[in-house]
Structure 1
Amino acid sequence: MIIQQPYYEKTGFKLYHADCLEILTSMPENSVDMIFADPPYFLSSGTFTCQNGKMVSVKKGDWDLSNGARDNFEFHLQWIKACRRVLKQNGSIWISGTYHSIYQCGFALEINNFHFLNDIAWFKPNASPNLSCRFFTASHETLLWARKDKKGKHTFNYELMKNGNWPEDQLKKAGLQMRTVWSINTPKPTEKTFGKHPTQKPFDLLKRIVLASTNKGDLIVDPFTGSSTTGIAAYLYGRNFIGIDTEKQYLDLSIKRFEEFEDMDNLKLINKC
């Protein structure tokens, strides 16, 4: 039982204003069906990038400042260990990242005895250009998918992934198996109506992950919930959700986004999936 009171709570949707280790360590063991995590990339270094055609600072916040490779790795090791404790035996975890973080996360998964299922290349057709013209343009992120137990039987909704309607992905061919390269644009302007998180993920990406690896009624946890795209996808498709974040401003953004969809009349079409 989680002792701390939720920052926000509605049926099937909870947000906690806390360090994820505080909440994860107080949750019952073997209680979570799926975890999606987009941890800090520790990329904020005073450099610049391109956003909407303008040069902007890379710094996303103090939470994204690097403490050095050893401390960064220890951080990933500890939160992934806490995730493993709360996952059910057949549960799985998704982790999103760039080369700044994803290799450390992958090694931390190995140390914590997870069993890898896939690595997904999320290709961004509308990625921002490289300003320095000294490197290839970064146009993808990596998603790691692993299950808690090598002998477990993780959820994978194969038929839906193969034969479902995925118009947002120009690489997905109708009637063929879904492959490990997904072509999905970055968040639409309508997903930023109330503001945005600096590493916000598109709804179409989380929709696919939720539908691929969970069933209705399952519990999904996001330990770095940000603007809670995971939670919105979970809620709209009939899953239960717990989101955790240290930044109050992004929890408030999450609430505004969630309440936009709370009217059940908006869910009739979506919940047919």
Structure 2
Amino acid sequence: MKYKISGTSPFYEDNNSQLYLGDTFELLKKCKKESVDLIFADPPYFLSNDGITCKGGKMVSVNKGAWDKIDSVEEKHKFNRKWIKLCKRVLKPNGSIWISGTLHNIYSIGMALEQEGFKIINNITWQKTNPPPNLACRCFTHSTETILWAQKNDKKSRHLFNYQLMKELNGGKQMKDVWEGPLTPKREKNNGKHPTQKPEYLLERILLASSNKGDVVLDPFCGSSTTGAVAKRLGRIYIGIDNNEEYIDISKRRLENAQL
């Protein structure tokens, strides 16, 4: 294994993957400076506000758990600046970071990126082909999420972009910043369910676009490790961190069953 978080034993590891159970902030502090090629982060969206949504044709609560609640806008922004600052420290000079979010947190994240010394490369819109309906009928159906792609705001930094591969995957045409596709299929939840699990095709495109085989990929809010399953399949070194043992257990099973 080429990567270790100092002074901490992994919850699980194999030849090219490690999972750590613990506080993201504390574990990021123990990561070696400028040691990661690519970061994908799917942080709390802070949308647990006691509202309702539709799932599988049934009315359900939008609440995800205590980890998805916060007291104020100020606390939310403080949280985002803190973890983004720590990610900048561990990211290599030519590395890049991808962060997904919705209207509940993405504007804070965009501002935090700039405040902490990042330059936004792209604003990707993920357009869901099968979003849940809007039950309140008081606004348009929420059918998109945003993924921000950023690099260090340094004249010497030159982020990796596998442009030609993206063009080939898009039928010989330049790939645009609107990516269309369905929600996570049931087959990707066979090892357990996570409330905000991303589909593998999203992470596959991100990893192919901005990393190479053997690169270190870090997910500081790994959840069920969609990032890890894809990283393992594509020959990347994966480091996943989460403070929820239930989700880390799902991640462990998923990595054990990941197809190489």
Give the alignment's TM-score, normalised by structure 1: 0.92
Query: Offset of 1:150 from its aligned partner?
Result: 3.3
Alignment match, 2:229:
232
Alignment match, 1:80:
84
Distance 2:6 2:51 in 1: 39
Q: Does 1:44 align with 2:44?
A: no
Alignment match, 1:156:
161
Alignment match, 1:198:
195
Contact 1:89 1:149 in 2 (8 A): no
Q: Does 1:113 align with 2:113?
A: no
Which structure 2 residues correspond to residues 2-151 of structure 1 after superposition, within 5 A?
A: 2-151=6-155
Deviations 1:79-129 (A, max 9, x none): 000000000000100000001000000000000110110000000001111
**SS of aligned partner of 1:39:** coil
Distance 2:145 2:154 in 1: 25
- The one-letter code sitting in structure 1 at the alignment partner of 2:94 is N
- The one-letter code sitting in structure 2 at the alignment partner of 1:50 is C
Q: Which runs of 5+ in 1 are unaligned?
A: 165-171, 268-273
Asked which structure has the greater RCO (Cα within 8 Å, sep 6+), the reply is 2
Q: How many residues align?
A: 255
Deviations 1:137-162 (A, max 9, x none): 00000000000243211111111100
User: Identity of counterpart residues, as a percentage?
Assistant: 53
Query: Offset of 1:31 from its aligned partner?
Result: 0.5
- The one-letter code sitting in structure 2 at the alignment partner of 1:189 is K
Q: Which runs of 5+ in 2 are unaligned?
A: none
Q: Does 1:214 align with 2:211?
A: yes
Distance 1:142 1:241 in 2: 23
- The one-letter code sitting in structure 1 at the alignment partner of 2:131 is A
**SS of aligned partner of 1:197:** coil
RMSD over aligned CA atoms reads 0.9
Distance 1:148 1:209 in 2: 17
Alignment match, 1:270:
none
Contact 1:94 1:144 in 2 (8 A): yes
- The one-letter code sitting in structure 1 at the alignment partner of 2:189 is K
Alignment match, 1:271:
none
Query: Offset of 1:238 from its aligned partner?
Result: 0.4
